[in-house]
């Protein structure tokens, strides 16, 4: 085997390493350098540090308008099925009020309230509250919407993250994906190297 042919068979490994290194550097450039730096006359900064505000605004819009809207919240909390889950708790409090607290606060009235009256009062209260709850919840969500700007909160939280914290968070969720991308790059480089050997041998 000649020196030339020996080097020829190292091409897939060199190509795999170059592709792996290129992708690894590209992933590093997502976060580094954190502060703008001049390199060969070019201003270089990591993608996330440079675009953090824009990323925060985009995520804020997605969360505030698509993933979680006040319309969705209102629909859920005014859903009769959800309200029906609350009513037993309310009924228990009304029952306790009529049987215990009313007698303590107004003994004279409590003396004239029997089981039948308690049941009738409780039924009236529950019917009224069942109709009133959706109105109260709608008004509550309307007030909450005016006071609670979800989109702005998300933007400020993400924009306020330090670059180190943002990198740590993304690495926590994407480490496996980053490794997979690096492995795919190395495998692709190896295949390209094999093709180069094949083309070279055919050309001889």
Q: How confident is the model at residue 67 (pLDDT cuts 50, 70, 90)?
A: low
Q: How buried is residue 84: exposed, middle or buried, by Cβ count under 10 Å (0-12/13-18/19+)? A: exposed
- What's the average model confidence in pLDDT over 43-72? 73
Q: Is 9 helix (H, G, I), strand (E, B) or coil?
A: coil
Q: For residue 8, what pLDDT is reported?
A: 73
Question: Which has more pLDDT, 25 or 63?
Answer: 25
Dump pLDDT digits (tens) for 83-132. Answer: 778 888 888 888 888 788 877 777 777 677 777 888 888 888 888 888 88
Dump pLDDT digits (tens) for 136-157. Answer: 877 777 777 666 667 777 777 7
- Report which of 145, 204, 181, 188 is spatially closest to residue 24, judged by C-alpha positions: 181
Q: Are 144 and 70 in contact (CB under 8 A)?
A: yes
For the entire predicted model, the pTM comes to 0.49
Q: For residue 204, what pLDDT is reported?
A: 64
Using the predicted structure, report yes or no on whether residue 27 has a pLDDT greater than 60: yes
């Amino acid at each position: 085997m000649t020196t030339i042919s020996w080097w020829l068979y190292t091409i897939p490994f060199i190509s795999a390493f170059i592709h792996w290194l290129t992708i690894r550097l590209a992933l590093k450039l997502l976060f580094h350098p954190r502060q703008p730096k001049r390199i060969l006359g070019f201003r270089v900064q990591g993608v996330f540090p440079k675009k953090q505000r824009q990323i925060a605004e985009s995520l804020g819009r997605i969360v505030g308008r698509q993933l979680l809207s006040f319309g969705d919240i209102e629909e859920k909390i005014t859903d009769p099925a959800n309200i029906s889950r609350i009513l037993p708790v309310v009924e228990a409090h009304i029952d306790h009020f009529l049987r215990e607290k009313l007698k303590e606060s107004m003994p004279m009235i409590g003396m004239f309230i029997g089981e039948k009256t308690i049941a009738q009062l409780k039924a009236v209260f529950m019917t009224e509250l069942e109709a009133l709850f959706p109105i109260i919840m709608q008004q509550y969500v309307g007030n909450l919407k005016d006071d609670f700007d979800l989109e702005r909160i998300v933007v400020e939280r993400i924009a306020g993250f330090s670059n180190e914290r943002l990198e740590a968070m993304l690495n926590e969720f994407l480490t496996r994906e980053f490794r997979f991308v690096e492995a795919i790059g190395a495998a692709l480089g190896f295949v390209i190297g094999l093709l180069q050997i094949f083309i070279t041998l055919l050309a001889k």
